[in-house]
Structure 1
């Protein structure tokens, strides 16, 4: 008989490379690559919807800083003892490069930044959100590899062939594994569920599903974003259940806080999808509140330097319709 083939996923011995005096961190590199991918995909989708090239990059100037701040705030709020507990240094809450970004804080404040950018450019927010949503899934898939570099956010012990090796120094200080113990008891050579990899693969699969559903059913008016939220939270719920990392807001009625967040957001997105489908079937005919100025304007277009308001937008300027759009 052939000996059992033991396969594992090794973790990087070091997640930081020094190029002269400049440290290059794997976590930060994954986040940056994810942002670049989201902007690139979003730009192509925005132009396909009838938007102008460069709009997404302009909106990103608003959305990215807001998103990073929101992601950090969410992480610190759910893990506050790590920064404000006894013997901890609150200043380390600002050390984003060490890891610790909560996706839902990033999506929430990132959306606020995008909305402000849309208002400043005369862009309708909902079609922009639909254009950006699939790219955000790809960004999250890439960003999750930052957890691999930091040896964090892994799952329960497993003997599956793709178990993840984690250095003992990165084991959690306390956890509820085995169940009810309150402490972590691992044997030497223990491998863990690579939840970062599970989420990466789930996000890429969700990206394909969202794109297919959008094309098959001509989704618009924010429904692509709603499908993104439903698809992501559906996977995040079961992946989160596998994790054993330290989280201060870990158990709420027997479930981790992030599992409850996923449940609530899934329900909210599903409700929005149904309501939006009834009120606004199909897709928007225009992605701008005010038509962009043509590069070579003619007298019929309103003259040089003038922007023309599209008739359909004039009809949507009533308070009731504006609330539906935003």
Structure 2
């Protein structure tokens, strides 16, 4: 964290903001290429971003409820989002539901919109993981590999340990597996994979989004089990790993159940515009059919 006068600039927040901007840029280009109005992406973002933050916080508070609802805890701390604690699962679920509701109200089909945004979303998640580097958090066990992350001891002006706001003393506490970096690399790989699959197989009807969920959770399961930070456990397993497996299975079923092919630009646009384009296309086809019938009739007469 740095200070611009009295204003704190947090590395984690800056990482998330950069991810959101890039996701919007990618999403607008992809949605426009599919036949949608790119401005809808910006409108949806106004709904998705705050909903995602609320969802991420809710997931964290629910899965780590022992930190906020115990005999020595202050439940008000659950509202102090600046103290840290966001769960990507809750952010994606609540953000997606909010966008679905908004698009339904605007009479814009959700599936092609989700397909257009999915690659940018997973790329944004990867960029957001840089925030874990700034915070020196979400890492794995100690290691001797050359890419291991050195965790430095940081103190404030009073000499107290302050991992996020303090200055390094130069003392290395440990060298660990940078699991957030592994997830960043995986997310970028998923981004490239989704773009390739979409172009090669002309995916549509929500299949790109389902493939995003499937691919992300596959990597997240293995990466989650490399982490050694404090986590809520169920039956000896990290709750996020369990969520990853369940979500992966559901996403795989959905992916193979959805209709193959891709929507037409008119279907993507939806609403009045889509209906108008469909009507115009129908008139053209009917006109062509009538003209063809006249030509055949003339040939028969001659």
Give SS of 1:140's match: helix
Unaligned runs of 5+ in 1: 1-15, 172-187, 294-306, 313-326
For residues 110-148 of structure 1, the C-alpha deviation after alignment (integer angstroms, 9 at most, x for no partner) is: 011111221232210010010111001111011111111
Superposition deviation, residue 311 in structure 1: 5.0
Alignment partners' CA distance in 2, 1:75 and 1:167: 26
Q: Distance in 1 between matches of 2:51 and 2:212?
A: 20
For 2:127 and 2:200, locate their aligned partners in 1 and report how far apart those are by CA, in whole Å. Answer: 27
Q: 1:290·1:310 contact (CA, 8 Å) conserved in 2? A: no
Give the drift of 1:61: 1.1
Aligned to 2:262: 283
May I ask how many residue pairs the two structures share in their alignment? 264
Q: How does 1:23-42 map to 2 (within 5 A)?
A: 23-42=8-27
Question: Partners in 1 of 2:145 and 2:263 — Cα distance?
Answer: 47
How far off is 1:309 after superposition? Answer: 7.8
CA RMSD of aligned residues (A): 2.1
Alignment partners' CA distance in 2, 1:149 and 1:89: 27
Q: Is the contact between residue 289 and residue 309 of structure 1 (CA under 8 Å) also seen in structure 2?
A: no
Offset from partner CA, 1:255-284 (integer Å, 9 cap, x none): 2111111111111011011111xxx22001
User: 2: CA distance between counterparts of 1:88 and 1:292?
Assistant: 54
Describe how 1:182-193 pairs up with structure 2 within 5 A: 189-193=173-177
In terms of fraction of residues, the more helix-rich structure is 2
Other-structure match for 2:273: 292
Q: What pairs with 1:179-218 in structure 2 (closer than 5 Å)?
A: 189-218=173-202
Q: What is the match of residue 35 of structure 2?
A: 50
1:262 to 217, 229, 244: 244
Alpha-carbon displacement from aligned partner over 1:141-194 (angstroms, at most 9, x marks no partner) = 1111111111111111111111112245589xxxxxxxxxxxxxxxx7421110
CA distance in 2, matches of 1:261, 1:31: 23
- 8 Å CA contact retained: 2:35, 2:269: no
Partner of 1:81: 66
Cα distance 1:47–1:309, how it changes in 2: closer, same or farther (>3 A)? closer
Quote how far apart the aligned CAs of 1:87 are. Answer: 2.7
Q: 1:100 aligns with which of 85, 103, 109?
A: 85
**2 CA distance for matches of 1:309 and 1:211?**
27
User: Post-superposition shift, 1:79?
Assistant: 1.3
Q: Secondary structure at the match of 1:130?
A: helix
Question: 1:50, 1:101 → 2: CA distance?
Answer: 34
Q: TM-score, normalised by structure 2?
A: 0.82
Supply the distance in 1 between the matched residues of 2:75 and 2:151 (Cα, whole angstroms). 27
- SS of the aligned residue for 2:2 comes to strand
**Equivalences for 1:140-289 in 2 at 5 Å?**
140-167=125-152, 189-247=173-231, 249-250=232-233, 252-276=234-258, 280-285=259-264, 286-289=267-270
Q: How far off its partner does 1:100 sit?
A: 1.6
CA contact (8 A) 1:124 1:287 kept: yes
Larger Rg: 2
User: C-alpha displacement at 1:98, in angstroms?
Assistant: 3.1
Given that 1:133 and 1:224 are in contact with CA atoms closer than 8 Å, whether structure 2 keeps it comes out as yes
Match of 2:294 in 1: none
Query: 2:195 & 2:47 partners in 1: Cα distance?
Result: 25
Matches of 2:142 and 2:262 in 1, distance apart? Answer: 46
Q: Secondary structure at the match of 1:242?
A: coil
Which residues of 2 match residues 7-22 of structure 1 at below 5 A? 16-22=1-7
